[in-house]
Amino acid sequence: MPFVHIEWLEGRTLEQKRELAKRITDAVSEVAGSPQQNVHVFFTDMKREDYGFGGELTLDRQQK
């Protein structure tokens, strides 16, 4: 505890996940006062057909 779920479009690299997991753990640990070992980070890579806004899927926005 705490638990941090990140939803973003697929395509980020392993290195980006490593760096973001580290930076988020540091931030949560420092601000919330939780030991780093207790900070859990989760990534969900979303396909462009599985996320949209304004009534349009990202897949279709990007093909314009």
Q: How far is the CB of 64 from a second copy (least distance, A)?
A: 14
Angle at 43 between CA 48 and CA 26, to 5 degrees: 135
Distance separating alpha carbons of residues 54 and 10, to the nearest angstrom: 20
DSSP class of 50: S
64 interacts with a second copy by CB under 8 A: no
In the residue annotation, 2 being an active-site residue is answered as: yes
How many residues in the shown chain lie near a second copy by CB under 8 A? 50
Which residues bind to a second copy, rule: CB under 8 A? 1-9, 12, 14, 16-28, 31-32, 34, 36-46, 49-60
Please list the active-site residues: 2
